[in-house]
Amino acid sequence: MSYQITTRFAPSPTGAPHIGNIRTAIFAWVYARSHKGRFLLRIEDTDRSREVSGATEAIIDSLEWLKLDWDQNPKFSNLIFQSQRLAIYQKYAEELVKKGCAYVCTCSEERLKELRERQIAAKQPPKYDGCCRGKIQNSKFKIQNYVIRLKVPHEGQTEFFDIIRGKVKFENNLIDDQVLLKSDGYPTYHLANVVDDHLMGVTHVLRAEEWLSSTPKHLLLYKFFGWKPPRFAHLPMILGKDRSKLSKRHRAVSLLEYKKQGYLQEAIFNYLILLGWRPQTDQEIFSRLEIIKQFSLERVQKSPAIFDQEKLDWLNGWYIRQMSASELLDRLIEYGQKFDENKTRSLKI
Ligand code: GLU
Ligand code: ZN
């Protein structure tokens, strides 16, 4: 079977996707398209407490607006919802327990809370103390209210080569015995993410830098399952011009808010690809085709990318000025129909 580059966008439906989420989707899409590979979409809805209704629709609307088409994985439906695959994750979690790579933990919430408080008071990083690690495992899981935890080795290091960051190394004894399966039968992000990336044939994981510290846990999972891990590329953070974390203060709102404000998808796409990717020349305006031809992960920077609203406005103006009068009119009508009934009427006259 020939090797086909496969990337994915795996958002959690916890709110309207913002600029940072969509920048990840754009990079993963461009990388797949530039290698004639596949770009898949997976909704990571396993944290029921954080789910926001309408968020999945907003994700799809955002991708469609930016024309980030996703492919169908031959073995899956077009769109995967992790919440519909609970039995699969449970099976894999149990497999790890049988192999001795994970264990059942029956610690109560109170005990864990107390432990956390003690550790914080002692200025130690909060971490499970391994209390249930050595207990005899009940292979039939007849007990109730248990979680399954990853049995992280106490010695050694977990290292990997990040395409953007180079060699990254973590001491195993600092890695928490991560919960893989929660007491409600739902997997945590870590388990579901690894199982699905493997089953979906993902070859390249492009995601935000905030996930870097989760990667050693994921690599241990790949190792314990006996699976070949994908390659990882952790995209640089996005900061405001004042170098603080991007927030509403910087006018950086949800992607669909930009759509509502009348920004063109061409400008947003062009702008976001430059948030971390450095082209070979000082060219700033790129057609989609040019980006697909020129994009490479080797030219993605490690240091944070700075969000510059003025530059986005300038690019947006440039794209508007390139349009013929009739094209501009069409776009205005389309926009008006969507967002402003009154304007539509006057434009049609
Ligand atoms: N569900 C995670 C998110 O919302 C996915 C992270 C990843 O790509 O592994 O960012
Ligand atoms: Zn326990």
Active site residues: 248
pTM above 0.75, yes or no: yes
Smallest Cα–Cα separation from 96: which of 215, 230, 226, 184?
226
Three-state DSSP class for residue 255: helix
The ligand with the least distance to the CA atom of 47 is 1
For residue 131, which ligand has an atom nearest its CA? 2
Nearest to 275 by CA among 232, 244, 306: 306
**335 with 276: CB under 8 angstroms?**
no
Q: Is the dihedral of CA 63, 68, 72, 73 positive or negative?
A: negative
Q: What is the pLDDT of residue 344?
A: 45
pLDDT of residue 349: 34
Instruction: Report pLDDT digits (tens) over 171-201.
Output: 999 999 999 999 999 999 999 999 999 999 9
Pocket of ligand 1 (CB under 6 A): 10-12, 44, 189, 193, 207, 211
Query: Tokens 């890695």 label which residue?
Result: 175
Question: Tell me, what DSSP letter sits at residue 274?
Answer: T
Choice from 207, 213, 238 to test ligand 1 binding pocket (greatest atom count within 8 A of CB): 207
Atom of ligand 1 nearest to the CA of 189: 1
> Can you tell me the distance from the alpha carbon of 178 to that of 185, in angstroms, rounded to the nearest whole number?
15
Task: Give the mean pLDDT per block of 10 residues along the chain (349 residues).
Answer: 87 94 98 97 95 95 97 86 97 97 95 96 94 75 82 97 98 97 96 98 97 98 98 96 80 85 96 97 96 97 95 97 96 86 47
> Burial of 311 by CB count in 10 Å (0-12 exposed, 13-18 middle, 19+ buried)?
middle
Ligand nearest the Cα of residue 24 is: 1
- CB 14 within 8 Å of CB 52: yes
Q: How far is the CA of 331 from the centre of ligand 1 (A)?
A: 33
Instruction: Measure 171 CA to ligand 1 centroid, in angstroms.
Output: 23
Number of the ligand 1 atom closest to the C-alpha atom of 11: 4
The CA radius of gyration of the chain, in Å to the nearest whole number, is: 23
Q: How far is the CA of 87 from the centre of ligand 2 (A)?
A: 23
Angle 189-199/86-99 helices, nearest 10 degrees? 100
Q: What is the DSSP string of 319-330?
A: HHHHS-HHHHHH
